[in-house]
Amino acid sequence: MSPRPGFVLETDRATPPTLFWHGEGWRLERLPPGSRIVYPPEPMEAVADPDEAVRQALAHPLGDSEPLADLLRPGMRLTIAFDDVSLPLPPMRPPDVRQRVIEAVLELAAAAGVDDVVLMAALSLHRRMTEAELRHALGHRVYEAFAPHGLLLQHDAEDPDGLVHLGCTDAGEDVEINKRAATSDLIVYVNINLVAMDGGHKSVATGLASYRSLRHHHNVRTLQHSRSLMDEHRSELHTSNWRMGRHIAASGIKVFQIETTLNTDTFPSQFAFLQRREWEWSGRDRATYLATSASLARTPARLARSIFHSIRSPHALTSVQAGEVEAVHARTLEHVHRQHVVPVEGQTDILTMGLPYICPYNVNSIMNPVLVMCLGLGYFFNLYRGKPLVRAGGVVIMSHPTPWEFHPVHHPSYIDFFDQVLAETTDPLEIEAKFEESFATDPWYVHLYRTSYAYHGVHPFYMWYWGAHALQHLGAVIVVGGDVAAVRRMGFKPASTLRDALEMAADVVGPDPSVTHIHAPPLLLADVE
C-alpha cells in the first residue's frame, strides 16, 4: 500500500481526542467541534538499496558537475564536511546516512589515491559533537580511521587562524568561512535535508561560517522577512545564503554537494501510535499509550529525559542527489515536499501545537525555555508555504512543560540570556541592539564554544530571532502546562489546560474563533492557500 498523503480533518463530536506532544510525554486533548487538524503524510517508501543509491548519485551528478570519481585525483586536498548533531531528529538508527555517504565518498577517494582528506563537522556556532555523537554519525570505522590522526575536525568559528575572509557579496555581506575548507581543491558537503529549510547554499555558507559572516542573515530584520523559513523563495535568510554561496563559488571554491532526504518514519515501532491517526489506533496502540502515559507520570523528569533521548528513529533514506549545489537542492526540495506538503485552505485564528522533547539544539541535552520558544515559534510556526497557518493577530497555543532548566555545559550563555536579557526585554530588536554584541564576543563563551561542548554565546539570540517573525505576527502566545515563571519571563501567557488556553485566546481573537491543530511530529509543511 502506498503511503497516504497528509490531510486536514474537520473535527466533530465523534472525533476521538487528539494527541498533543508535551515534552517528554503527551496528552490527549479534545478540540472544540469544527476545529481542523492537519495530519502529516505517511512515511514515503525508502529506496531499496541505500548504498547503491548513494553510489549512483555520486556517479551521476546533477547540474554542471562531473561525477565525483572524476573530480578526485592524487595529491589533491579534499575536505568532507557533514551536518552536525542537530540532524536528523531524533538521531537515526545506525547506520546513519552520513556514514553511508561518507564511506562511499572515501571509497572513491581511496580508489583515486587521494591522501589529504579531512572530515569536518559543519558546526557553525553549535556545540562541538562528543565522541559518541561523532561515532554515531560517522560509524566506528570512519571515526577510528580519522579521529586518532587528527583528521576528523569540527569547524571552529572562533579560530583566528582557521578562517578566511573571501570578501563581500554584492549586498555587502562579509563571507568568512573555514580556512581548511576554503583552501581545499574540493569540498564535499554531506547533508541531511530533514526539513525544507536545510541544505542548498546554506550548508557551506552557514555551516562553515563565522559570526562575522552569520550576523548578516542571522538577525532580526532578515528573519522577520523570512516568510517562511521553510520556503526558500520567500526567505531573506535563504536569499542571503544564496548570495554568499554564489560568492563562494565565484571565489573559486568548488563544492560537491550531496543531499539526502529521509522519510518521516520518526518513532520506533513500539511507539507506533505516535504517528498513527487516533481513530486508527489498534488495541495495542491504546494499551501502549495508556501504559507509557501511566509510567511516564511516575518517572522522574531526568530519567524520562534520558529515556526519550535514547530513542533512535527508524528514518529511512528516500533520495540522495549529488553534484552542483543549486541543481541538487532543487531536486532535494521536490523530495522533501513530496514527503511533507499538506494543502490547507485558509488561515486560522488559533493555531495549537504539541511540542515534543527534542529540537535541533537539545540533542542529548535539556530543552530549556528559550529552545521551547524556538521550536514553537521558530520551527512549528514556520511550517508553512504561502501564508502562515495562523492569521495576523492570531494566537499560538503550545503545549510543553517548559521547565526552568538549562544544560550547564551545553547552554551556558542561554542561562545568562534568560536571566538577564529576557528579564529586561523580550523585544527581538531591542535585544539585538543592546545585548547581542557583548554576548557574541564574550571571551568565556568563546572559550567554552571552542574547548568544551557549549553553544556559542550568541546562539540563544538566534533562537529568539528565529521566532521574531512569529512574535511580530501574533496577537498572543499561550503555553499550556508550562512552568509559569518561565513562560511569563518570555512574555507568554501560561495556562493549565487547553480549555483555559482557548478561553484566553478567544479574548484576543474574538468569540467563536477558528482553531487549527498541527499534528506534528512527524513533520509536515502546510501549503496554505
| Chain residues in the site for other proteins (CB under 8 A) | 49-50, 94-95, 99, 106-107, 110-113, 115, 117, 130-131, 139-142, 144-146, 148, 408-409, 412, 415-416, 419-420, 438, 442-444, 447-448, 451-454
Q: Are 318 and 44 in contact (CB under 8 A)?
A: yes
Nearer to other proteins, 92 or 182 (CB): 92
Q: Is the dihedral of CA 66, 326, 527, 83 positive or negative?
A: positive
Residue 390 Cβ vs other proteins, minimum distance, rounded to whole Å: 34
Nearer to other proteins, 27 or 141 (CB): 141
Provide the phi-psi class of 390: left if phi over 0, else alpha when psi is between -120 and 50, else beta.
beta
Residue 193 Cβ vs other proteins, minimum distance, rounded to whole Å: 22
Nearer to other proteins, 369 or 521 (CB): 369
- Residue 66, classed as helix, strand or coil, is coil
HEC per residue, 450-465:
HHCCCCCCCHHHHHHH
Beta bridge partners of 7: 39
Nearer to other proteins, 421 or 505 (CB): 421
Residue 84 Cβ vs other proteins, minimum distance, rounded to whole Å: 16
The Cα–Cα gap between 214 and 222 comes to 11
The Cα–Cα gap between 418 and 414 comes to 6
Residue 419 Cβ vs other proteins, minimum distance, rounded to whole Å: 6
Q: Are 368 and 407 in contact (CB under 8 A)?
A: yes
Residue of 138, 173, 177 lying closest to 155 (CA atoms): 177
Residue 494 Cβ vs other proteins, minimum distance, rounded to whole Å: 17
Nearer to other proteins, 42 or 442 (CB): 442
Cβ neighbours around 4 below 10 Å, total: 10
Nearer to other proteins, 444 or 529 (CB): 444
Nearer to other proteins, 265 or 326 (CB): 265
Beta bridge partners of 352: 397, 517
The Cα–Cα gap between 195 and 526 comes to 12
Q: Are 131 and 154 in contact (CB under 8 A)?
A: no
Residue 110 Cβ vs other proteins, minimum distance, rounded to whole Å: 4
Residue 428 Cβ vs other proteins, minimum distance, rounded to whole Å: 20
The Cα–Cα gap between 199 and 82 comes to 11
Take residue 203 and report the three cell numbers written for it: 550548508
Take residue 409 and report the three cell numbers written for it: 555545559
Nearer to other proteins, 307 or 415 (CB): 415
Take residue 280 and report the three cell numbers written for it: 486508527
The Cα–Cα gap between 198 and 229 comes to 10
Q: Are 5 and 526 in contact (CB under 8 A)?
A: no
Residue 331 Cβ vs other proteins, minimum distance, rounded to whole Å: 24
Residue 435 Cβ vs other proteins, minimum distance, rounded to whole Å: 10
Residue with cell 580511521: 145
Nearer to other proteins, 107 or 185 (CB): 107
Q: Which residues contact 291 (CB under 8 A, 6 or more apart)?
A: none
Residue 50 Cβ vs other proteins, minimum distance, rounded to whole Å: 8
Nearer to other proteins, 221 or 450 (CB): 450
- Residue 371, classed as helix, strand or coil, is helix
